[in-house]
Amino acid sequence: MNAPWSILGIGMTADVSAIRKAYAERLKAMDVDGDVEGFAQLRQARDHALRIARKMAAVPDAGNEGDVAEDGAEAEADGEDAAFGPAAEAPLRWTYAAPELRGEWSGGDLAARPGEPDQSAMLGRMAWAAAAAREGVSGAGIPLTTIDPFTAPFLPGNHAADEALGLRPGESPAERLSILLDPEGPSAGEPLTEAEVRQAMRALRKILDDAAQAQITRAQQIEDWLAEVLARGWPRSAPLLEDANTAFGWEREWAAHDARPGVAFLGARLRGYRFQQNVLQPGHRYHKAWNELIRPGKASLLRFLSGPSQGDVEALLRGVRKNFPELETHFAADRVASWERGSPVKVGLFILLGLVLAAVLMLAGNPSRDGASLERDTWSAMQTAVPEAFGEGHDSSWLWDKQPELAGLLNAQTRNLLENGAERPAVVAKVVEIVRGRSFLNGRELAGNDLDTAMRLRLAQLRAAQAQSDAACIRLRNTGVLGAAIAVPDAIRAEERRFAAHLADTGKLGKPQDHGERSAMVPGDLIDQVVGATRLSRDAVKEAMSGKGDAGTGCAVTIALLERTLAWDGENRREILMTL
Amino acid sequence: MLIGIDLGTTNSAVAIWRDGEAVLVPNALDDPLTPSAVSIAKDGRAWIGRSALDRLAAHPQDSAASFKRLMGTAGKSRLGGREYGAEDLSALVLGALVADVEAFTGERPSEAVITVPAYFNDRQRKATRRAGELAGLTVRRLINEPTAAALAFGLRDKGDREPFLVFDLGGGTFDVSVVEMFDGVVEVRASAGDNRLGGDDFDQALAAMVRPRIDPANRLDALSAPHREALLKRAAEGCRRALSTASEAEFALVLGDEKLSLTVTEAEFESACEPLLRRLREPVVRALRDSAIDAAELSEIVLVGGATRMPVVRRAITRLFGRFPNASVHPDHAVALGAAMQAALVGRDAALDEIRITDVCPYTLGVEVAEQDDHGGLQRGLFSPVIERNTPVPVSRMNTYSTLGNNQKTLEFGIYQGEAREVRGNVKLGHIAIPVPPRPAGEVSAEVRFSYDSSGLLEIDVHIPANGTERNLVIVDEEDRPGRKELESRRAALARLKFHPREEAGNVALMTRAERCYEDHIGDVRQAIGHWITLFAGALDTQDPRHIADARAMLAARLDEVESISPL
């Protein structure tokens, strides 16, 4: 890569002061307000050159980009032999766009320099866009933190073993907390016992006191470490979140568009936890609805006599799905499904009411839709839509049987669209869209053939979108929405149907998990392949991977990366696919 | 002539560039600092600076200070029975500074560089610019206060400096900037701050802590709000300043004919300030994080702003960074000096030919978007950043957005500034609507370009590739910019105020000081001060310069004596 050097007008060098000097000279020669683009380029070139210089200084032989990329990969590999083995292997419930936590108990160099952003961060950003779209967050240009908080492992002081903390000899409060939150063996996944909560709270307070007294760098390390441990220890860490939040003022950060991923994760969890604590109080508006939905089994037919109102249950479901998706796991799927189908007794009432209403409306000459005919139309639209989405031989009762939650969702969507005057084809298209989105999001979490199928289908969809326009392609990448106007080839449609039916049959078409931000290291040779396939400059490719650049480039790079990764058999293949 | 002005919450100062260096301009009282205070009597007589501050005690309903905190808001101050916005009052202070420069150099300046807190948002910046216009100045540039301070600190020897941190805690605002200097380039790497945190808040915290103890019967409630606040504020400020040099100080105020007083220890003060001290941390963390610099790498922590004189603040800073901060620049002068340097840079002064300065835009700028969620619902009111905070300026960035509804007819862009994920947490700067061809959802896209120049002027261009439509919005003051006419009429209203002739400034200031001392004391001392005031007024009536000068020296000496006894 010559770009930064030619803009600076110097040859490649590891000499930081030469780079600064060249930058200063060029800056003084230009009118920054008159040449905004030129200034941006110069600044970028300078920053890029400084990064390369730093890498060269660190690794005397490394002088080119490929090596820089591989440095990143090595760093990741180093992370593998973390002292904290079991936790590192456990499936993470969220991922930080940085190498794994490494050796936090081994002490280590507290003064370690924060790392420079590398390909991993850039790809993480791209993946973020997709994840963000799922969460309904804007994905444009979110800066990732450029500091990797875990490269500077921290070991909280040399506390004398404090009996009150329940510490074992030589154990620090941080170790205690970590073990309590991420235990090995049978108690993993169980909530903390009351005694454990007390112990954990005491350890936490000690750590928070430490942070309050500490200097800024160390306090930051403690904060980042704690965010990681609490996020990793979720849901066991639930009772501790409130205190940590108060101490570090995380609440102010949650609402920020660039909240650190760990903090954002904890923020969302704590809000859900608070809601759950509140809804368990008998006076809460949705208390009855909550209790109804968490009971296993199907809902009683006579529930309208003593149960919560249909409106409250629906409002609770809607609210939970929108705001605290993880709380839905508390609900019994059968019960949710039967509520979502609507109350049979109420349908009867609807018909009665509907008749009266219809009569009135006929007098008024207004051909509005009444409740009963809406239910009928919904049912009939589903009879068309389900085979369209899953292939012939599948109907909505099959879907209710296999994936009640999805069936409920599709039913509600269909009813909603019809109520708003949508035509049958639009309803069918929406159902296909939802199933397509779920197949992809769930398939991506699987391994082997299923993962490959999901990604191959996504590749075909991206190409179909690209044929329409680059914007459509980027939209599909960022929001997962293909759009009804885009025609997918028949063979691909058939494959999509088979795959969706297969996932539903095996019960894998449930609500997609929120995986937050993801990242993977893209090895240099894979980037080379993308560069070759797209005939773009390496810079443009990397820019596109970091979510910048125009739609055409972004689309071409996404397609090429997906295609090449599918055909590739190297390290990180699955990780890379999972970020796409 | 191009001047540099530090328009502060507590004090303002003006400096000029002369013979290759920045020079502070003294006011009529020969003081480089002019308190940012205004007092206007019912008859239209106006006091600005020290005398206005002194009048605050005796005439709280006529006087205002700390109005910078209301900049960019609709908040008004009532003085002498009329309402004035923060811009109007700031314009009066700026006018006084302009007069000082005219008296100092014999030339009336017409252009200025004015400093603003780095963390001032767009509205606050525009209000500052308007204040300059009201004072008859063309504001050539607004420069961030910590950046100005960094210039003053860094250009002393023009040598290279590894990244240093400017910690600027003023009367009403708090800024942190990470700055680096090399080869004549002064580069701001990142700024963060809190535009609602300053010395005033420490006074309020102190007053809030003391009040129940000093006034258990709530007798202060009987006073009007401005009067009560002025009393408490003055008492707190005096006590806080005394605590800078002693381990305990008296908190005293005069209520009617009675003096209420109480001793406050440093430890008590520190615990009252604890929540404020904690708020110093976050902007520091953010600025370091955004500039990707570790606290240990900083070469200096440079203190600026009067509130950094407080030992409690210095201790907090020392604890935060694990080392002592650098207090080598004058905390009250550095910003004005830096503003004059920036003025020389803008004016392309030869002495600074080899210096360039690059700053950042401290807030994120973006548009409001809506997105489809998992359940097909529409999430509205989300913020989509276009220019991220701490991007070097000038900068121009483009994002592409597409329609969400079928056959959507217009695309509407709300333009926002801030860091919240949802736009309601951010500051709205403007709005742009553009018609689009009716197509299915997502098929029409719009390219939105944000351009932000060195003065902080934001311009937005929207382009619809599908049919070539363009829209442009220059976020000057579209909505809140007063028309030429209104500006003229406001300027005329301010001009109608009656100012004391410059040569009388010393007498006026002494008189208001004496009146303030009268309010501050009780019993015999008060009576004596009353008598001195009558004597001095009599001397003024004689219009005999020598007689007046003698009386003035006498009164000043007596007041000094009285005030040296009292902590007030």
- Using CB atoms within 10 Å of the CB of residue A251, give its burial: 0 to 12 exposed, 13 to 18 middle, 19+ buried: middle
Closest CA to A432 of A392, A389, A394, A390: A389
Q: What average pLDDT does range A510-520 have in this prediction?
A: 71
Instruction: Based on the fold, state whether residues B36 and B69 are members of the same structural domain.
Output: yes
Cα–Cα distance for residue pair A467/A463, rounded to 1 Å: 6
Nearest CA-CA partner of B251 in B23, B24, B568, B473: B568
**Residue in chain A lying closest to B424 (CA):** A255
Cis peptide before B394 (omega within 30 of 0): yes
**Does any domain span residue B472?**
no
Which of A183-192, A306-315, A526-535, B333-342 reaches the highest mean pLDDT? B333-342
pLDDT at res. A471: 82
Which residues does residue A447 pair with via DSSP β-bridges, in sequence order?
none
What pLDDT is stored for residue B433 in this prediction? 87
Tell me whether residue B476 is in a domain. no
Q: What is the pLDDT of residue A138?
A: 30
Range name among A62-66, A314-318, A487-491, B176-180 with the lowest pLDDT average: A62-66
Cα(B30)–Cα(A358) distance, rounded to whole angstroms?
A: 88
Which DSSP string do the residues of B278-303 spell out, in sequence order?
A: HTTHHHHHHHHHHHT--GGG-S-EEE
Q: Choose between A218 and B251: higher pLDDT.
A: B251
Q: Identify from B161, B196, B348, B375 which residue to disrupt to test chain A contact, counting A C-beta atoms within 10 A and taking the largest count.
A: B375
Neighbours of B485 (CB within 10 A): 8
Strands B138-144 and B111-116: parallel
- Shared domain for B353 and B261, answered yes or no, is no
Q: What is the pLDDT of residue A66?
A: 44
* Nearest one of B170, B53, B179, B189 to B120, comparing CA atoms: B170
- Rounded distance between C-alpha atoms, residue A51 and residue A54, angstroms: 5
Same domain flag for B417 and B440: yes
Of B260, B276, B292, the one marking the end of a domain is: B276
Instruction: Report the b/e string of B38-53 with b at 16+ CB within 10 A.
Output: bbbbeeeebbbbbbbb
Helix (H) or strand (E) holding A58: helix A36-58
- How is chain A split into domains, by residue range? 3-63, 163-276, 280-340, 345-515
Q: Which two structure tokens, joined as six digits, stand for B182?
A: 């090399």
Based on the fold, state whether residues B507 and B437 are members of the same structural domain. no
Q: Give the angle A459-A519-A180 at the CA atoms, nearest 5°.
A: 135
CB contact under 8 A, A259 and B421: yes
The Cβ of residue A120 has, within 10 Å, a number of other Cβ atoms equal to: 26
* Chain A residues close to B183, C-beta within 8 Å: 20-21, 23-25
Dihedral sign of CA atoms A159, A162, A165, A170 in order? positive
B399 touches chain A (CB under 8 A): yes
DSSP string covering A463-499 = HHHHHH-HHHHHHHHHH----TTSPPPHHHHHHHHHH
Cis ω for the linkage preceding B501 (within 30 of 0) = no
Given this model, what pLDDT does residue A79 score?
Answer: 34
For chain A, say whether B375 makes contact (Cβ under 8 Å): yes
B395 touches chain A (CB under 8 A): yes
The answer to whether B196 contacts chain A (CB < 8 Å) is no
C-alpha closest to that of B180 among A244, A370, A24, A65: A24
Least confident segment among A10-19, A371-380, B87-96: A371-380
Residue at B403: amino acid letter: T
Opening angle at CA A409, ends A403 and A412, nearest 5: 135
Closest residue by Cα to residue A434 from A469, A473, A479, A402? A479
Within a domain: B481: no
Confidence of residue A164 (pLDDT cuts 50, 70, 90): low
**φ/ψ bin of A342: left (φ > 0), alpha (ψ from -120 to 50), beta (otherwise):** left
Rounded CA-CA distance A481/B461 in Å is 27
Judged by CB atoms closer than 8 Å, whether chains meet at B420 and A469 is answered as: no
Which residues, at least 6 apart from A31, have a Cβ–Cβ distance to it below 8 Å? none
DSSP H or E segment with residue B551: helix B545-565
Residue B489 falls within a domain, yes or no? no
Does the distance separating the beta carbons of A25 and B183 come in below 8 Å?
Answer: yes
In single-letter form, the type of residue at position A197 comes to V
Is the per-residue pLDDT at A24 higher than 90?
A: yes
pLDDT of residue A21: 93
Amino acid at B529: I
B562 CB-near residues (< 8 Å, 6+ apart): B517, B521, B525, B529
CB contact under 8 A, A40 and B396: yes
The answer to the question of residue B420 being in a domain is: yes
- DSSP state, residue B15: E
Q: Which domain holds residue B239?
A: 199-276
**Chain A interface includes B424 (CB < 8 A):** no
Q: What CATH number does residue B270 fall under? A: 3.90.640.10
CATH number (domain holding residue B109): 3.30.420.40
Query: Shortest CA distance to B4 belongs to which of B139, B117, B172?
Result: B139
pLDDT of A321 higher than 90:
no
Tokens of A96: 């930080």
Residues B184 and B208 in one domain: no
- pTM, whole model, 2 decimals? 0.68
What tokens were used for B505?
């400034």
To the nearest whole number, what is the mean pLDDT of chain A?
72
Q: Do residues B139 and B116 share a domain?
A: yes
Q: Per the domain annotation, does B473 fall within a domain?
A: no
Are the Cβ atoms of B373 and A36 closer than 8 angstroms? no
Task: Give the three-state DSSP class for B264.
Answer: strand
Residues B339 and B408 in one domain: no
Q: Give first-to-last CA distance, chain A, whole Å.
A: 26
- List of chain B residues with pLDDT < 50: 478-479, 568
Q: In DSSP terms, which residues pair with B433 in a beta bridge?
A: B412
Residue with tokens 């919450």: B9
pLDDT of residue A96: 26
How big is chain A by its Cα radius of gyration, in Å?
27
Nearest Cα to Cα of residue B52 among B87, B25, B27, B24:
B27
B443 CB neighbours in chain A (<8 A) are 468-469, 471-472, 483, 485
> How many pairs of residues across A and B have Cβ atoms under 8 Å apart?
162
| Low-confidence winner among A69-78, A315-324, B58-67 (lowest mean pLDDT) | A69-78
Residue identified by tokens 């007046």 is: B548
Of B64, B25, B29, which Cα lies nearest the Cα of B50? Answer: B29
Domain boundary among B276, B293, B316: B276
CATH of the domain at B385: 2.60.34.10
Q: How far is CA B324 from the centre of its chain?
A: 26
Please check whether residues B182 and B215 belong to one and the same domain. Answer: no
Alpha helices by DSSP H, A260-394:
261-279, 287-294, 303-306, 310-323, 333-340, 344-364, 371-390
**B508 shares its domain with B541:** yes
pLDDT at A484: 72
What is the complex's ipTM, to 2 decimals?
Answer: 0.85
Total domains present in chain B: 4
Q: State which of A105-119, A491-505, B368-382 shows the largest mean pLDDT.
A: A491-505
Q: Is residue B182 part of a domain?
A: yes
Clarify whether residues B238 and B290 are in a common domain: no
DSSP states of B421-472 as a string? SBGGGSEEEEEEEEE----STTS-EEEEEEEE-TT--EEEEEEETTTTEEEE
Place of tokens 């773009």: A536
Position A68 pLDDT exceeds 50: no
Structure tokens at B255: 């209520």
Flag whether pLDDT at A103 surpasses 60. no
Phi/psi of residue A306, nearest 5 degrees: -125, -15
Say yes or no: B159 and B303 in one domain: yes
Q: CA–CA separation, B134 vs B212, rounded Å?
A: 43
Q: How far is B370 from chain A (nearest CA, A)?
A: 8
Contact B322/A at CB under 8 A: yes
Contact B371/A17, CB-based, under 8 Å? no
From B224, B249, B276, give the residue that closes a domain: B276
B331 shares its domain with B400: no
Q: Is the residue at B437 inside a domain?
A: yes
The answer to whether residue A288 scores a pLDDT higher than 50 is yes
